[in-house]
Structure 1
Amino acid sequence: MLSRRQFVASPLAAGVALASQAVTAQSARRTIVDAQVHLWKAESEDWKWVPGMKPQMPEPFTIEKLVPLMDQAGVDRVVVVPPSWPGDRNDYALEAARRHPDRFAVMGRIPLKNPQAAALLPKWREQPGMLGVRLTFLGPAQAWLTDGTPDWFWPAAEKADLPVMFLTDGQNVRLADVAERHPRLQLIADHMGIGGNTPREGRIADAVSQTVSLAKYPNVSVKLSAAPNYSSEAYPFRDFTPHIKRLFDAYGPKRCYWGSDMTNGFDKATYKQRITHFSEELSFLSEQDKDWVMGKSILERLRWG
């Protein structure tokens, strides 16, 4: 057995040191893209919120707040997902993309109850910074999954070649028929399939199982986002490691995306911790896997060059 002094001087030690340096260098070069952050400004006469809806934080989460947080944490780009409380409007998110085109892009909201909105989709990506659409099926909108409300949207979005992010209250299995009938429609399951009352009702494992069941469709991918928000533990949120690994094993690195969704659980973890949770704490991810999951895959899926 080598002594400590002999090991330090040995070729093996030199190899270990070089490997460690290579991993560090790769991490330093990694492009980090947050697949979801909400931005909103204060309510005003010309920027009213939907009556009865409340924001995730008492203070607005503005462009001016987010950019320094990105710089401090080492986040290169963010996909801005407009929140629901200002209604189906995308103007502030598009303002972020206009002001910082190299750092922000948008998955916009659309009035799903208005089939005439289909006329907007062919030119949807002509809005500077707009990459696709985000749909939310929570609260009363859960009924839309079964009442036919979005039936007009799926073929129109497929024809327009628009990627679609969707969030359900642990009801992702409802999208299986959509994925099968519209194979060219890129569907992105938000937050591992967890949303709304899913955590409070103890349905996290079932929600993840439903999302895993969609992996057989090549046009479905998943955001491994918001784990700190739903975890019952402190950093590094080890109760969620099995869920993340199960989804990663089902979808693979090119169909999984890291995302913070930080405003939904701002005090649960710092921005840096949300990154190191993936870059340092998930041992089943190789360095190459991390390159894809933490940036390359979402850029490729959304065609954000």
Structure 2
Amino acid sequence: MMSRRQFGTSALAAGAAFASQKVSAQPSKRRIVDAQVHLWKAESEDWKWVPGMKPQMPEPFTVEKLVPLMDQAGVSRVVVVPPSWPGDRNDYALEAARRYPDRLAIMGRVALKNPQAAALLPKWREQPGMLGVRLTFLGATQGWLADGTADWFWPEAEKAELPVMFLTDGQNAQMARVAERYPRLQLIADHMGIGGNTPKEGRIADAVSQTASLAKYPNVSVKLSAAPNYSSEAYPFRDFTPHIQRLFEAYGPKRCHWGSDMTNGYDKATYQQRITHFTEELPFLSEADKDWVMGKSILERLRWA
């Protein structure tokens, strides 16, 4: 039989052990990495918009606006995706990455109509902050997937080991031939495959289905981004839960990437809500899944050390 002193000593030891277990069982601080934010400065004589195009917001969204939002929301890093309205230029994104090299990196734009741009790809990642390429096949450019315009790009990007983000107007099924023909080319489907007129035409479910069909290719991953922008509901955007879950189950946590795309539909959700949508409102995600989706997966996919 234990003495009172022995009992007390044993209880203290057990309590210390329990406290130690509680501490070790707590997850480490999650690293949040936003897989897509557009940055742009005001239009000027030497920084003109493409005729007929306009920004997503009336005011410029500059790096001075982004970084405080990152700090407030607890976002460690952001992948800067240069927008389409200034044309195929990356200069402002490169400037932002130079100013914040530990927090910002870039998926730059390439002039697909100019095959001579192939000469730029072998040294693409030598540009400070540049991680890969982002292509858009929307509006006047949506036919480039099928008409041969983009054909020169895929083998050159694979050879240069450049990851590629792509956005189509609900045409992701056309990317199957690219994924199959170039298995070493890392392809990232943007916005679940939803872009352009897809939402207006009621083709969201079909676009998600096309994107899910690409999951059989190991070199394809998906950005689970932009749900607030396309949802017909307020936060937490329950109408998109089935779409997000379908893609998550198809690709798994290591091939799914959270992204805010916050400037598209800026007034539909705060930055914090775009984060808590995934960290608090999707019950099918485990804590380990969230670690991957909210940051680890995009860092690994883009080789962003």
TM-score by length of 2: 0.92
In the alignment, the residues of structure 1 paired with residue 82 and residue 93 of structure 2 have an alpha-carbon distance, to the nearest angstrom, of 6
1:130-180 residue CA offsets vs partner (Å, 9 max, x unmatched): 000000000010110110000000000000000000000010001000000
Which structure would you say has the larger Rg?
2
Matched, 1:141 2:141: yes
User: Pairwise mapping of residues 254-265 of structure 1 onto structure 2 (< 5 A)?
Assistant: 254-265=254-265
**1:292 partner letter:** W
C-alpha displacement of 1:235 = 0.5
What is the SS of the residue equivalent to 2:132? strand
Q: Which residue of 1 aligns with 2:87?
A: 87
Structure 1 consecutive aligned stretches of length 4 or more whose deviation exceeds 4 Å: 17-23
For the structure 1 residues 86 and 287, does the alpha-carbon distance in structure 2 shift closer, same or farther, using more than 3 Å as the test? Answer: same
For the structure 1 residues 247 and 18, does the alpha-carbon distance in structure 2 shift closer, same or farther, using more than 3 Å as the test? Answer: farther
What is the SS of the residue equivalent to 1:198? coil
What is the SS of the residue equivalent to 1:274? helix
Q: Which residue of 2 aligns with 1:237?
A: 237
State the aligned residue count: 287
What is the SS of the residue equivalent to 2:150? helix
User: Pairwise mapping of residues 150-189 of structure 1 onto structure 2 (< 5 A)?
Assistant: 150-189=150-189
**1:54 partner letter:** K
In the alignment, the residues of structure 1 paired with residue 86 and residue 22 of structure 2 have an alpha-carbon distance, to the nearest angstrom, of 47
User: Pairwise mapping of residues 244-283 of structure 1 onto structure 2 (< 5 A)?
Assistant: 244-283=244-283
Identical positions, percent: 86
For the structure 1 residues 105 and 207, does the alpha-carbon distance in structure 2 shift closer, same or farther, using more than 3 Å as the test? Answer: same
In the alignment, the residues of structure 1 paired with residue 227 and residue 23 of structure 2 have an alpha-carbon distance, to the nearest angstrom, of 29
Q: Which residue of 2 aligns with 1:102?
A: 102
For the structure 1 residues 22 and 138, does the alpha-carbon distance in structure 2 shift closer, same or farther, using more than 3 Å as the test? Answer: farther
C-alpha displacement of 1:49 = 1.0
**1:260 partner letter:** S
Q: Which residue of 1 aligns with 2:5?
A: none
Q: Which residue of 2 aligns with 1:4?
A: none
Q: Which residue of 1 aligns with 2:31?
A: 31
What is the SS of the residue equivalent to 1:267? helix
**1:195 partner letter:** G
Q: Which residue of 2 aligns with 1:195?
A: 195
Q: Which residue of 1 aligns with 2:212?
A: 212
**1:300 partner letter:** E
TM-score by length of 1: 0.92
In the alignment, the residues of structure 1 paired with residue 234 and residue 91 of structure 2 have an alpha-carbon distance, to the nearest angstrom, of 36
For structure 1, the 5+ residue unaligned runs are 1-16
For structure 2, the 5+ residue unaligned runs are 1-18
Q: Which residue of 1 aligns with 2:122?
A: 122
In the alignment, the residues of structure 2 paired with residue 19 and residue 244 of structure 1 have an alpha-carbon distance, to the nearest angstrom, of 34
In the alignment, the residues of structure 2 paired with residue 252 and residue 205 of structure 1 have an alpha-carbon distance, to the nearest angstrom, of 19
Q: Aligned-pair RMSD on alpha carbons?
A: 1.5
In the alignment, the residues of structure 1 paired with residue 281 and residue 89 of structure 2 have an alpha-carbon distance, to the nearest angstrom, of 37
For the structure 1 residues 140 and 275, does the alpha-carbon distance in structure 2 shift closer, same or farther, using more than 3 Å as the test? Answer: same
In the alignment, the residues of structure 2 paired with residue 20 and residue 293 of structure 1 have an alpha-carbon distance, to the nearest angstrom, of 25
1:247-289 residue CA offsets vs partner (Å, 9 max, x unmatched): 0000000000000000001000000000000000000000000
